[in-house]
Structure 1
Amino acid sequence: MPRGKASIPLDLPRPPGLSDDTRSKQECIAEAIRDAILNRLLAGDTALPSTRTLAERWRVARGTVEGAFDRLCSEGYIVRTRGSGTRVSAVVPDTYLASSEQAQRAPVHERKDTVVASRERPYPAAENAAQAGVPFIARLADPDLLRMRSWRKHAGIGLTRATPADLSSTLPQGDGQLREQIAEYLRKFRGIPCGADDVFITTGIRNSIDLIARAVLRPGNAVLIEDPGYSSAQRIFELAGAATIDIPVDREGIETAALPRRSDVAAAYVTPAHQSPLGVTMSVSRRLELLEWASQSHAWIIEDDYDGEFSYQAAPLPALKSLDVHDRVVYCGSFNKTLFSGLRVGFMVLPAELRVPVATIWRVTGRSVAVAEQLALASFISSGDFAKHLRASRHAYLQRRNSVLQQLARYGNDRYAISGEHAGFHFMLWLANGVDDRAFVARAAQAGVALQPLSAFTRKAVLSSGVVVGYTALTIAQALHAGKTLGHLLAHTGDCDDA
């Protein structure tokens, strides 16, 4: 074999589905290689052949294979190094492979349920100014992007189709039509193998977290949370009587090496798609290590996918739940983040073991999600209008993000750094060395710009100074104006500090 050329591992057969018009060739290739890695057919550090070689062998365009490689690279399965080719980077634990063989689960309708017997408040401006049009606290879905004529149409369709039983006796876990639509969407777009029986409708992610906390936590339990992280989740766990244990976060997500193996730890709360607030995406190796920890510790993982649908470099990454062969992950999502914050409809995908206890709690606490909104959402999703709305929103949010970044590049005099801008509703703006983030936030407020300092999200972690920049619920004009103001503040920060 010529030097420097990688053979095709295991002769990598042509991926199935390349002739299927319902799926893109790029998606089929990425899925085939991803499955080969997870099934250990491609071990860690295995060299992959060039995209040209695979394209010729599989009779597809080289750009198609390039796109699949780029996606796998962004997901953390492979790494591409100039001059060294492409290699497998994900490390798959032995226990994951063993669990995969056991996880050829029965259809959802055949499963049997079993019953299982705050330190620092957020920066004050956050709760008062978290509304559309306020730069840069507005980490919200823009309600102006929703076509109200379309929403009113689906609200009417939902009520027209509703029976008296639908309006008076909705199941505790929510309307069956909506749960089926959500399950189909999650299977297709988030890689989660679930059915309607796995889905529970809630008023939002915080409501989901609260229900899970009530269902799984007992006196003396502890919950692992990211540091820095979402302070509202911490307070919910503490209100449920649990202690919280801070786990550091680095550029690959929560540091799994720091996960304690203690009998009192009942759960871990994570934001793997776009960590709140750092914006990093949890690597595949870390995801598998976290799942292995949960299985061995018999602990639950609460996956908060608050803005996972909004990826600006590739298709949204598969959810952590999609790798959950141990059935230890509770997946939490929300239409309040994809449509508008006042909708108050969220959902979670529950492991089979938790369905009965959560349903029992939900019956007692009131089943507060309105039926009309659920019926409207079911019609909205089934028609394809929800998918269209997400595509339009991604494009709009990308333009707004780019507008802010362009203004910072033009006026910021390179006195900052950016991270986490590849997805979601916000990015991290890192300040120059020696700049106090709270003092910077105070100066920004005087200039009419609302920001949150990173220090408001940390508990024990010691990080560089930074601020969280939300941009999704701004108009382009607001993004440009506020971005220019913020750029000027960054350019003159050193001058102010030296004065």
Structure 2
Amino acid sequence: MVKGKNTAGLDLPLPTSPVGVTKSELAYQAMRDGIVNGLLQAGDRLPSTRVLSQRWGVGRGTLESVFERLQLEGYITRKVGSGSRVSATIPDRYLKAVSTAQTTVTRHKEPAMVEAAPVSVRKHYQAQVGVPFVARLASPLLISPAEWAAHLQRAMAAMQPEQMCSVEPQGAWVLREQIAKYLRNHRGIDCLADQILITNGIRHSIDLLARCVVKPGDHVCVEDPGYPAVHHIFEQAGANLLYGPIDQDGLNLGGISNEIECRIAYVTPAHQSPLGVIMSATRRMTLLDWAQRNNTWIIEDDYDSEFNYQSAPLPALKSIDTMNRVVYCGSFNQALFSNLRLGYMLAPPALQRKVLDLWHTVGRSVGVSEQLGLAAFMQGPAFLRHLRRSRQEYQTLRDIVLETLRAEAGTLSH
């Protein structure tokens, strides 16, 4: 195959449209899957939007937005005069992997390399409503207590007597159904309600995983810079932290020795915390391939993907996890209000059973009324309407900050 001459994209079929899926999403999935599955390879030139428009019966404007999305995620590059080319490099082992494959590796008692931990500051700053530059606290002004109370009251009125005394071990079924539907439609994750475990937030999910997976002395890879609270959770579990630097493409595993067995890699691929980098497609594939070869679990912290201001929210790393190595963790505490204390976890079956056993032992900490209230909030248009309102508000605030910084930077330069 001659690089630059390939037009394999012409042979990519546009999938049959399920109910509720737009042509834009179908075109995106067809092209992304072609790259992920190796039908389109790094350096291959893609057909023009005009050619694809004629073949697929999709408007050129729609395809332009699809190409822009693929470029933003790092799957393709676009240059005026030379067209669009695949830029994501997919490891051969990833292409050959079976979704249920498990790789056994030898545990090294004496690691060949020990990463020096950067100096960490243990000082904590309390988030406060009305204080600027606090990104981790949802604005309580965007959802009124009366609006939330109405959904909560409706859910409580419909509650069955048996629900007051017992609830499904993984959480209320009606809520898990709504979360699974949301993940399928908005995060690209093919999942069902019985795969979801309700927790009280992402840190709670990670703590459960750490206690199930990490033994004293095990290595855990974290981002540098990263989320200090999560680093502390792993340290409390007895882990030795390996710090993977963040560059323009996300987590760089180049400094992690292959001689070290790493039990967990923790990442924030959709919006790296705190630098805001989006992990490129190549890095995502490299991470999945590395995790498969080293029998490592990946924890994907998807803490604020609802608030991407450049395009539609990027698909989750879990959505391309054909090897079942990713544990997906999400929360409603930032999307709605911080004291809601409701999150969820989507783990591979082998890990889910361990976490559920521990969950039974320590006792569930999420009340059924909050779960049913949130399910009622998600069943109608209220939840998505709230996300749109919040996204607009936060983008306005972000733009004010950026405009002020640009203005002040110009003043200082003079």
Same fold (TM over 0.5): yes
Give the corresponding residue for 1:230. 227
Inter-partner Cα distance in structure 2 for 1:366 and 1:44: 49
- CA spacing shift, 1:158–1:264, aligned 2, 3 Å: same
Equivalent position SS for 1:411? helix
The one of 173, 177, 188 aligned to 2:174: 177
Contact in 2 for aligned 1:263/1:297 (Cα 8 Å): no
In 2, Cα distance between the equivalents of 1:11 and 1:189? 27
Q: Does 1:168 align with 2:165?
A: yes
Mapped to 1, the partners of 2:324 and 2:12 lie a distance apart of 30
Deviation at 1:6, TM superposition (A): 6.1
Q: Deviation at 1:221?
A: 0.8
Name the SS of the counterpart of 1:368 in structure 2.
coil
1:6–1:49 CA contact under 8 A, matched in 2: no
Amino acid at match of 2:296: A
Q: Secondary structure at the match of 1:146?
A: coil
Instruction: Give the Cα–Cα distance (whole angstroms) in 2 for the partners of residues 385 and 225 of structure 1.
Output: 36
Post-superposition CA distance 1:63-116 (Å, at most 9, x none): 1110110011111111112232110011112222222xx3399xxxxxxxxxxx
Match of 1:335 among 310, 332, 337: 332
Shift in CA distance, 7/263, structure 1 to aligned 2, threshold 3 Å: closer
Q: List gaps (5 residues or longer) in structure 2.
A: 102-116
Amino acid at match of 2:360: R
Q: Distance in 2 between matches of 1:331 and 1:13?
A: 29
User: Aligned ranges for residues 231-250 of structure 1 at < 5 Å?
Assistant: 231-250=228-247
- 1:268–1:301 CA contact under 8 A, matched in 2: yes
Q: Is the 8 A contact 1:268 1:299 kept in 2?
A: yes
Match for residue 76 of structure 1 among 58, 74, 77: 74
TM-score (norm 2): 0.90
TM-score, normalisation: structure 1: 0.75
What's 2:10 paired with?
11
1:221 aligns with 2:218: yes
CA contact (8 A) 2:100 2:323 kept: no
Whichever residue aligns with residue 103 of structure 1, its letter is: S
* In 1: Cα distance, 2:220 partner to 2:146 partner: 44
Shift of 1:371: 1.2
Are the structure 2 counterparts of residues 409 and 12 from structure 1 closer, same or farther at C-alpha, using a change threshold of 3 Å? same
CA shift in 2, pair 1:166/1:121, >3 Å:
farther
Give distance in 1, aligned partners of 2:9 and 2:51. 14
The Cα shift of 1:308 comes to: 1.3
The two structures, once aligned, show a CA RMSD in angstroms of 2.2
Cα 1:138–1:254, aligned 2, differ >3 Å: closer, same or farther? closer
Q: In the alignment, residue 27 of structure 1 is paired with which amino acid?
A: E
User: Which shifted more, 380-389 or 57-66?
Assistant: 57-66
User: 1:181-220 counterparts in 2 under 5 A?
Assistant: 181-220=178-217
The answer to whether the aligner puts 1:155 opposite 2:146 as a matched pair is: no
Distance 1:46 1:328 in 2: 29
Q: Is the 8 A contact 2:261 2:294 kept in 1?
A: no
Superposed counterparts of 1:63-102, under 5 Å:
63-99=61-97, 102=98
Farther off after superposition, 86-95 or 163-172:
163-172
Aligned to 2:268: 271
2:23 counterpart (22, 25, 40) = 25
What amino acid does structure 1 have at the position aligned with 2:15? P
Provide closer, same or farther for how the CA distance between residues 152 and 175 of structure 1 changes in structure 2, counting only shifts above 3 A: same
Confirm or deny: 8 A CA contact 2:32 2:70 kept in the other structure: yes
Mapped pair 1:402 → 2:399: yes
Distance in 1 between residues matched to 2:84 and 2:291, nearest whole Å: 31
Residue from 256, 261, 267 that aligns with 1:259 = 256
Deviation at 1:149, TM superposition (A): 3.1
Which whole-Å deviations, capped at 9, do the CAs of 1:199-220 have from their partners, x for residues lacking one?
Answer: 1111111111100000001122
- TM-superposition CA deviations, 1:110-152 (whole Å, max 9, x none): xxxxxxxx9755474x523x12211123432212111433311
> Does the aligned pair in 2 maintain the 1:30–1:72 contact within 8 Å?
yes
Deviation at 1:317, TM superposition (A): 0.6
How far apart, in 1, do the equivalents of 2:9 and 2:188 lie? Answer: 26
Q: SS in structure 2 opposite 1:48?
A: coil
Offset of 1:368 from its aligned partner?
A: 0.8
Which of 20, 25, 49 is 1:51 aligned to? Answer: 49
Q: Secondary structure at the match of 2:21?
A: coil
> Is 55-64 or 90-99 further displaced after alignment?
55-64
Partner of residue 38 from structure 1, selected from 18, 36, 53: 36
Q: Amino acid of the residue matched to residue 23 of structure 1?
A: V
Aligned mate of 2:132, from 130, 135, 139: 135
What is the CA–CA distance in structure 1 between the aligned matches of 2:213 and 2:118, rounded to whole Å?
A: 23
Identity rate, percent: 48
Please tell me whether the aligned partners of residues 75 and 317 of structure 1 are also in contact (alpha carbons under 8 angstroms).
yes
Q: Does 1:305 align with 2:307?
A: no
Output the CA distance in 1 between the equivalents of 2:319 and 2:38.
17
Structure 1: gaps (5+ residues)? 106-117, 415-490, 495-499
Conserved 8 A contact 1:220-1:264: no
Question: Aligned partners of 2:302 and 2:145: how far apart in 1?
Answer: 26
From the superposition, tell whether residues 164 and 71 of structure 1 become closer, same or farther in structure 2 (CA, over 3 Å).
Answer: same
Decide whether aligned partners of structure 1 residues 226 and 7 sit closer, same or farther in structure 2, where only a CA change above 3 A counts: closer
Q: Equivalent residue of 1:377, what SS?
A: helix
**Helix, strand or coil for the counterpart of 1:201?**
strand
Q: Name the stretch that deviates more: 298-307 or 263-272.
A: 263-272
Q: 1:55 to 1:163 in 2, by over 3 A?
A: same
**Contact 1:178-1:375 within 8 A present in 2 as well:** yes
Shift of 1:37: 0.9
Aligned-partner SS, 1:266: strand
2:410 is paired with a residue whose SS is coil
Question: Any conservation in 1 of the 2:250–2:277 contact (CA below 8 Å)?
Answer: yes
Per-residue CA deviations over 1:445-480 (Å, capped at 9, x if unaligned) read xxxxxxxxxxxxxxxxxxxxxxxxxxxxxxxxxxxx
- Name the SS for the 1:315 alignment partner: coil
Taking the aligned partners of 2:281 and 2:198, their CA distance within structure 1 comes to 28
Aligned to 1:462: none
